[in-house]
Structure 1
Amino acid sequence: MNSNPSPSNSSRFEGCTLTGALSVLTEIRDAICIVHGPAGCTHHNFSLLHATLLSNDRLEVPRLLSTRLTENDIIFGGEEALEKTLTRALSLSPASIFVLSTCIVETIGDDTEAVCAKDRGVPVIAVPTAGFLGGVFETGIRNALSTVASLARPAAGTTLSANLVGEKNLEYGVDENAAEIARLLSRLGIGINLRFVRGIGTRDIERLGSATVNILREPALRPVGEGLRQRLGTPYVDSFPTGLAGTCRFLEDIGRICGVDTSTAIEEEHAFQAAMLHQFADIAGSRVHFQSPHPMLRGDPGAEAICNECAEALDLAADPDGAVIPYPYPAPVGTAGLRRMLHRWRILIREKQRG
């Protein structure tokens, strides 16, 4: 929930804290998530997650259970309902269970952590996801990642590899973005150790500490990166690469952390970018007008910089009467993301030229 309802001050990341956490935790395939609260909280999120999975051709059902709190539970406490739901969850033989609190549970004062702390043979972990005190979608993501990381232990050694931390699982193109990171890392001879958290099992979390570097999806996840650095000793890069120059800087940063020479990789990426831009020579010199994708959203300086960089590379002219091109959100990842963005630009420019 947001304590400031003014649309002009709304953050793009705002939304339900519970939804943010579930977007992470439901990607642990052998886990069950219990939403401790009224049935409606679970129903809403199940519908959203299921629809997102289907839109990405994933015929899966989110493993969610609800404690289905009633008025009686809200008045007298819902811990008994949680105990019953945990018994039901354990009968399904999960490898781990995550219990997510809702606003009403925090309001009535259920001691969710105490209930979860009992030995049940598998990890049962409470995740704070009540947003009524100002938590938002992004808060849920951070809390979920930090909670899951508690299952990891320092590794005996590391491999030349990277973890992708905090991918936006509800984002269109999430797998394409991961593939672009893998492509860039391959130039340095570095592989992906773990997508934390996307499409993994509970046991996979054990190898979280064996990577040489963590790559955060965005700077907002720095607290998670710091937590992993302190617990597991893994340094991090604070965002996926964006922009032409930014993508090459990303290679430099990864190479510096991993002790890998980047000169050849950067030279190859420069050539790759030049060939990509050449594919759009047909729109060079066109007139364009960049604007926010929605009047309620604040401008994104990063998106503006990327658009200006690509416009300069293609000799596009800024003109209020030119083809209207919205600033991208989120910013396209790597060179492949820029290619997809420029394909959209071409369509808009051609439509404008046709009148």
Structure 2
Amino acid sequence: MNSNPSPSNSSRFEGCTLTGALSVLTEVRDAVSVIHGPAGCTHHNFSLLHATHLSNDRLEVPRLLSTRLTENGIIFGGEDALEETIAQALSRSPASVFVLSTCIVETIGDDVAAVCAKDRGVPVIPVPTAGFLGGVFETGVRNALSSVASLACPGAEATLSANLIGEKNLEYGVDENAAEIARLLSRLGITINLRFVRGIETRDIGRLGSAAVNILREPALRPVGETLERKFGTPYVDSFPAGLAGTCRFLEKVGRICGIDASAAVEEEQGHQKALLGQFDDIAGSRVHFQSPHPMLRGDPGAEAICTECAEALDLSVAPSGSTIPFPYPAPVGTAGLGRMLHRWRVLIREKRRG
């Protein structure tokens, strides 16, 4: 992690590389993740993941193990502890094992890759997650996605389907966003092949190369999209759709990639959007004022454009004296996401009117 203590240094707020990787790897349900480092790194992440699962009504426990490095292991090396913990992981009969290295392990120079490379009959995959060397949460996500992809081989039979790549598993509404992508793709006759990685098993990873298109959650995942395109020849769309016009452009782009005329799908979606906006006629003509949700939070660059587009569609006036509405972060996905956003706008506008 970046050690600059200045509040203006946004990288301090971008999260731990280890946490980013675990948000991906713990979604491979029949795998075990081994965290090579002090017990505290595992405890912190176990607590976060477990609490997130509970808040989303998922009654499950993350499958994490720690090598529990102590002073002795840090001084003399922790490879023996890693061997023992991998053996412990294998005793649970997983289909795959992921080994994540913490900052202290990279400092002392343990050869994690060499330990993982031994033949154990089950794939044991090293995942680089030492954040203090320059990584942040997103780095962990990208490294984890690339590591999981190493379990898939080219040559799968192609189908008219799409992979969702890099969903934000700690995000509230992650499943609603996936459902919206599925709804939009269905207008083109395209199905979801694989949520990579969300609620899958190791054997499902073999389908990774069979989709006609990969849909990345956000542009920060372009390096992953490029890696998958090189390995499987699968083109990608670099983000989930956002905004009224952006959602229609998304349909057009996916259609072009898959060789499908998207005209009818776009026309249907525009009609759906018109009907949605009609549900908010009661706030038409209201005055609103948009602002960042928090001065320290780096907002989504497309949020202002999305808010302006929706304000114009609803004939809202943007003025300093209007109802204060925070820019959405992250940007709402598709038309359904805009509907949820506009419901929040209505609440804020009505509160302003009553005040």
Aligned to 1:313: 313
C-alpha distance in 1, partners of 2:324/2:300?
17
Structure 2 unmatched runs, 5+: none
Deviation at residue 20 of structure 1 after TM alignment: 0.1
Partner residue, 1:69: 69
> Take 2:271 and 2:11, find their aligned partners in 1: how far apart are those partners?
37
Contact 1:3 1:133 in 2 (8 A): no
Aligned position for 2:118: 118
Name the residue aligned to 1:262. 262
What TM-score, normalized by structure 2, do the two folds share? 0.99
Residue in 2 aligned with 1:325? 325
Q: Secondary structure in 1 aligned to 2:131?
A: coil
- Per-residue deviation, 1:13: 6.7
Cα distance in 2, alignment partners of residues 50 and 163 from structure 1? 26
Instruction: Output the CA distance in 2 between the equivalents of 1:7 and 1:329.
Output: 20
- The yes-or-no answer on 1:287 pairing with 2:299 is no
Mapped partners of 1:170, 1:7: distance in 2: 24
Matched residue, 2:39: 39
TM-score, length-scaled by structure 1: 0.99
Q: Deviations over 1:296-334 (max 9, x none)?
A: 123433000000000000011111111000000000000
> Aligned letter for 1:308?
T
State how far apart, in whole Å, the 1-side matches of 2:268 and 2:303 are: 25
Distance 1:334 1:13, change over 3 A: farther
1:111-190 → structure 2 map (5 Å cutoff): 111-190=111-190
Equivalent residue for 2:231? 231
- Which portions of structure 1, spanning 4 or more consecutive aligned residues, are displaced by more than 6 angstroms? none
Conservation of the 8 A alpha-carbon contact between 1:216 and 1:225? yes
1:187-232 CA distance string (max 9 Å, x none) = 0000000000000000000010000000000000000000000011
How far does residue 261 in structure 1 lie from its aligned partner after superposition? 1.0
1:302–1:61 Cα change, 3 Å: same
Which one-letter code corresponds to 2:27 in the other structure?
Answer: E
**Residue by residue, what CA displacement relative to the aligned partner does 1:256-313 show, whole Å, maximum 9, x if unpaired?**
0000111110000000000000000000000100000001123433000000000000
Give the SS at the match of 1:121: coil
Aligned 8 A contact 2:2 2:12 in 1: no
SS, match of residue 163 in structure 2 = strand
Aligned to 1:24: 24
| Counterpart secondary structure, 2:133 | coil
- Alpha-carbon separation, structure 1, partners of 2:81 and 2:298: 43
Q: Distance in 2 between matches of 1:245 and 1:339?
A: 14
How many Å separate the matches in 1 of 2:22 and 2:45? Answer: 8
**Corresponding residue pairs, total:** 355
Distance 1:259 1:327, change over 3 A: same
Tell me the secondary structure at the aligned position of residue 100 of structure 1. Answer: strand
Q: Work out the CA distance in 1 between the residues paired with 2:109 and 2:10.
A: 29
Alpha-carbon separation, structure 2, partners of 1:176 and 1:163: 16
Using the TM superposition, give the Cα deviation of residue 8 of structure 1 relative to its aligned residue in structure 2, in angstroms: 1.9
What is the rounded CA distance, in whole Å, between the counterparts of 1:174 and 1:59 in structure 2? 17
Q: What is the rounded CA distance, in whole Å, between the counterparts of 1:94 and 1:188 in structure 2?
A: 38
Contact 2:300 2:330 in 1 (8 A): no
What does 1:244-255 correspond to in 2, within 5 Å? 244-255=244-255
Residue 344 of structure 1 aligns with which residue? 344
Could you give the per-residue CA deviations for residues 111-170 of structure 1, whole angstroms, max 9, x where no partner exists? 000000000000001000010111000000000000000111113420000000000000
Question: Secondary structure of the equivalent of 1:266?
Answer: helix
Give how far 1:12 is off.
Answer: 8.8
Return the letter of the residue paired with 1:316. Answer: L
Deviations 1:4-38 (A, max 9, x none): 33222315971100000000000000000000000
Q: Which SS does the other structure have where 1:301 is aligned?
A: coil
Name the CA distance, whole Å, in 2 between partners of 1:330 and 1:221: 15
Is the Cα contact below 8 Å between 1:25 and 1:197 reproduced in 2? yes
Identify the residue that residue 207 of structure 1 maps to in structure 2.
207
Contact 2:128–2:143 (Cα < 8 Å) also in 1: yes
Compute the RMSD of aligned alpha carbons: 1.0
Q: Is the 8 A contact 2:34 2:100 kept in 1?
A: yes
CA distance in structure 2 between the aligned counterparts of 1:139 and 1:2, rounded to whole angstroms: 13
Alpha-carbon distance between aligned partners in 1 of 2:136 and 2:69, rounded to the nearest angstrom: 23
